[in-house]
């Protein structure tokens, strides 16, 4: 089977088992993401061959670092999605979220380091379980469903950090404004530091 530029022996694959090796599986950012390969991206001018090599190598290195940390926390990182873009200085940078429970699957391991399952499925802290809660036409969760998702995320976060979760009880609008201010302050400081180095 040919998939995202990789040749796979279907007979060697099994559900919820490791792949033969780490794979880069690029996809397009469309209404429905479409899996492609590196050659497609280069041919269509999305990135150069050198840029793709940088993306692939840095992504695989980050995956290894995150996986090593998670193993110490009794978790395994599965099927992460990372997005990238080019900033005003022409540098490739990560975009959107990285290694969150929305963009990746975090599966739990038992005390022996083996995958923990329930009813034949991996015990997961990711949002994958939530997708089956709503029909395609209904995008809103009920209050009970939202609470179940929150509990799953809180448990995952506590497992990941080893610390108790402390909710942010500030009003929603205050959280948004203060978070945006913090991001803008950080970006301005980094920009000043960058231009100071170039002077």
User: What pLDDT sits at residue 79?
Assistant: 87
Per-residue pLDDT at 198 exceeds 60: no
User: What pLDDT sits at residue 113?
Assistant: 85
89 in the same domain as 187: no
187 in the same domain as 96: no
Residue finishing a domain among 95, 110, 127: 127
Is residue 11, in this structure, part of any structural domain at all?
yes
Where do the H-state alpha helices sit in 18-142? 38-43, 49-72
Is residue 145, in this structure, part of any structural domain at all?
no
185 in the same domain as 103: no
User: What pLDDT sits at residue 54?
Assistant: 93
Is residue 98, in this structure, part of any structural domain at all?
yes
180 in the same domain as 94: no
Residue finishing a domain among 68, 94, 127: 127
Confidence of residue 120 (pLDDT cuts 50, 70, 90): confident
Cα 54–chain centre separation: 18
What are phi and psi for residue 101, nearest 5 degrees? Answer: -75, -5
Is residue 26, in this structure, part of any structural domain at all?
yes
Segments forming the whole domain that contains residue 186: 169-199
Q: Which residues of 109-122 are buried (b: 16+ CB within 10 A; e: fewer)?
A: beeeeeebeeeeeb
104 in the same domain as 20: yes
Most confident of 57-66, 102-111, 134-143, 158-167: 57-66
Give me the mean pLDDT over the 146-150 stretch: 82
User: What pLDDT sits at residue 125?
Assistant: 80
> Which CATH number does the domain housing residue 82 bear?
3.30.470.20
Residue finishing a domain among 74, 103, 127: 127
160's CB contacts (< 8 A; 6+ apart) are 70, 73, 75, 106, 125
Q: What is the mean pLDDT of the chain?
A: 86
pLDDT tens figures, 10-37: 888 888 888 888 899 998 877 788 899 9
pLDDT tens figures, 66-115: 999 999 988 999 988 888 888 888 889 888 788 887 788 889 998 888 89
User: What pLDDT sits at residue 158?
Assistant: 87
117 in the same domain as 21: yes
Our count of domains for the chain comes to 2
User: What pLDDT sits at residue 40?
Assistant: 93
Percent of the chain with pLDDT over 90: 29
User: How big is the chain by its Cα radius of gyration, in Å?
Assistant: 20
Is residue 135, in this structure, part of any structural domain at all?
no
184 in the same domain as 108: no
182 in the same domain as 121: no
């Amino acid at each position: 089977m040919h998939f995202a530029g990789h040749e796979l022996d279907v007979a060697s694959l099994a559900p919820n088992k490791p792949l033969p090796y780490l794979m880069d599986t690029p996809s397009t950012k469309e209404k429905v993401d479409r899996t492609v390969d590196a050659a497609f991206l280069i041919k269509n001018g999305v990135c150069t061959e050198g840029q793709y090599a940088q993306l692939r190598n840095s992504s695989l290195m980050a995956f290894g670092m995150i996986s090593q940390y998670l193993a110490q926390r009794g978790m395994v990182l599965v099927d992460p999605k990372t997005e990238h873009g080019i900033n005003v200085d022409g540098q490739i940078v990560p975009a959107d979220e990285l290694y969150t429970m929305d963009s990746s699957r975090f599966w739990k391991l038992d005390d022996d380091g083996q995958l923990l399952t329930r009813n034949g499925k991996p015990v997961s802290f990711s949002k994958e379980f939530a997708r089956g809660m709503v029909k395609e036409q209904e995008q809103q969760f009920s209050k009970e469903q939202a609470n179940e998702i929150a509990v799953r995320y809180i448990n995952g976060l506590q497992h990941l950090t080893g610390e108790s979760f402390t909710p942010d009880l500030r009003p929603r609008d205050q959280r948004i404004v203060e978070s945006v201010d913090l991001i803008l302050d950080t970006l301005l400081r980094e920009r000043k530091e960058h231009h100071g180095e170039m002077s």
